[in-house]
Amino acid sequence: MEIAVVGSGYVGLVAGACFAELGHDVTLVDNDQQKLAALRRGECPIHEKFLPELLERHRGKKLSFTDDLHSAVRRSQAIFIAVGTPPKHDGDADLSYVESVARGIASAIDSYKVVVEKSTVPVYTNSWIRKIMLLNGVPPELFDVASNPEFLREGTAVADFLYPDRIVVGADTDRCAQVLERAYQPLVDGSYSMGDNAIPGPVEAPFSAHLIRTSAKSAELIKHASNAFLAMKISFINAVATVCEAVGADVEQVREGIGSDSRIGRRFLFPGIGYGGSCFPKDLLAFCAVARDNGCRFGLLDETVKVNDEQRIRFLRKVSHALWTLKGKKLAVLGLAFKNGTDDIRESPAIAIIKSLLKEGCSVTAYDPAAMGRAAEEFAPGSVQFAEDAYDAMAGADACLILTEWEDFAALDLARVKTLLRYPIVVDGRNLFHPAQMQAAGLNYYSVGRPDVTGHLHTKPTIAVRKEALPQEEAA
Ligand code: UGA
């Protein structure tokens, strides 16, 4: 098939490269000349496993880059819109880029095309795209609008695309659904996974994807509701972690206990400093706006956002609890990306926490295996130092804070950590270590929803529950 993908951000670039991998001829359209030039030179603008290989494999063959939307539309049977939908001041999604692309597509259509929303958009966007096309003079028989939401996660985006839990095709006509079914055929019939050069997936070949056909509106809602549910799981476990701290329970044990119920599941139940990234925060606000604008009360969404915001504040309180005063303290910060496996710092809780610490008068030396380049642009020049590696960040620091769940950090040599730090204090916002391990290493350790390990500044080491978290009579 000939496919056009408009927008070469995370979703567009991964989708374009993966459709080429599935054997289609893909034109990736963007109006950012610098980005296009970099892509043509063979550069990969994002840190994403397997993406450089796919770009290398298909660039100049099954994958081309252009700013010419008109020609790309003429050539293609399906045009995927994957441009940004940033939040407006009221949380609602700004759809002006989608609208402008829809107008561009309308001016080029000369035969039947399927226009596919790939960006995360509020319900009704497909109806608006349809209206824009009709207002711009496109005869109704020359197009259909479908919703085909993307569920990829940054860091595992290529594997998520090629080995999806499901493919949702929101199409209101059979003709339109058939075009999308063809686009995904090698994933649905399992043939992709059987190929010699297939990107390895999380499961054994043959892998056949489950394709779900819905109405366009349902597909739009599925995307928002999926992200909201995942964010709700995270806020739920974070709220449980807070209760664990208050009563002296261990959230990891509680997580194991509740996650073992197959109806609940263990995934997305990791407590921490709250979710970040370019999707959950934005999509939650947009879904709240959809509910509000359609007269639905959906307080669960508001509470999910509130718990998430509070989680950062609670972490800052932990840091000051561990260090007493913050002004003038030298802190080693491990992790800047919003999660592991990516260099993306958009809405990263790590960045927000560092900004608050700088305001309190701390000095920060940070290390992240992938995100330091991007993070440097977030801070005033010279306000944050960047280290060569995790140990370099820790030399002489008053405490070490862990803010991103990189696996490398979990493998740190704890004896070396203890020697490097001025005070043996680790505040872990991602629960990368076990408290007993830190106790054995002689470190004071504060994590999320688990008893603190204190005593290494005193004579007798103990695993202690914070006093203010104890019930009144016990604290007394
Ligand atoms: C998320 C969804 O997981 C994807 O399915 C979706 O396609 C994507 O948004 C999107 O809408 O485009 P992503 O933002 O890449 O993907 O990242 P996640 O892996 O979902 O993590 C989001 C945040 O939640 C991170 O800050 C992560 O550290 C945090 N998190 C995740 C937790 O705090 N606890 C968990 O148990 C899981």
Per residue in 117-138, pLDDT tens? Answer: 998 888 889 999 999 999 999 9
CA dihedral 164, 170, 174, 176 (to 10 degrees): -90
pLDDT band at 468 (very low <50, low <70, confident <90, very high): very low
Residue 338 near ligand 1, beta carbon < 6 Å: yes
Residue 362 to residue 323: CA distance in whole angstroms: 11
pLDDT tens-digit readout, 390-411: 999 999 999 999 999 999 999 9
8 Å CB contact between 117 and 145: yes
Q: Please report, in angstroms and rounded to a whole number, the separation of the first and last CA atoms in the chain.
A: 72
Amino acid at 429: G
Catalytic position from the list 176, 244, 279, 362: 279
Protein residue with least CA distance to atom 1, ligand 1:
153
Q: What is the pLDDT of residue 473?
A: 39
Q: What is the pLDDT of residue 28?
A: 98
Residue 378, token pair as written in the block = 């977030």
**Cα 155 to middle of ligand 1, angstroms:** 10
Q: What is the pLDDT of residue 467?
A: 43
Nearest alpha-carbon partner for 19 in 35, 3, 43: 3
Catalytic (active site) residue 279 = yes
pLDDT band at 462 (very low <50, low <70, confident <90, very high): very low
Cα within 13 Å of Cα(203), Cβ side: 13
pLDDT band at 268 (very low <50, low <70, confident <90, very high): very high
Protein residue with least CA distance to atom 29, ligand 1:
275
Q: What is the pLDDT of residue 147?
A: 97
Protein residue with least CA distance to atom 23, ligand 1:
275
- List, in order, residues 6 or more apart from 131 with CB less than 8 Å away: none
Note the residue count of the chain: 476
Residue 339 near ligand 1, beta carbon < 6 Å: yes
Residue 127 to residue 313: CA distance in whole angstroms: 41
pLDDT at 472 over 70: no
pLDDT tens-digit readout, 185-231: 999 999 999 999 999 998 888 999 999 999 999 999 999 999 999 99
Q: What is the pLDDT of residue 457?
A: 61
**Cα 19 to middle of ligand 1, angstroms:** 23
Phi-psi region of 59 (alpha: psi -120 to 50; beta: other; left: phi over 0): beta
What average pLDDT score do residues 417-424 get? 97
Residue 14 near ligand 1, beta carbon < 6 Å: no
444-475: string of b/e by CB count within 10 Å (b at 16+)? bbbbbbbbbbbebeeeeeeeebbeebbeeeee
DSSP 209: P
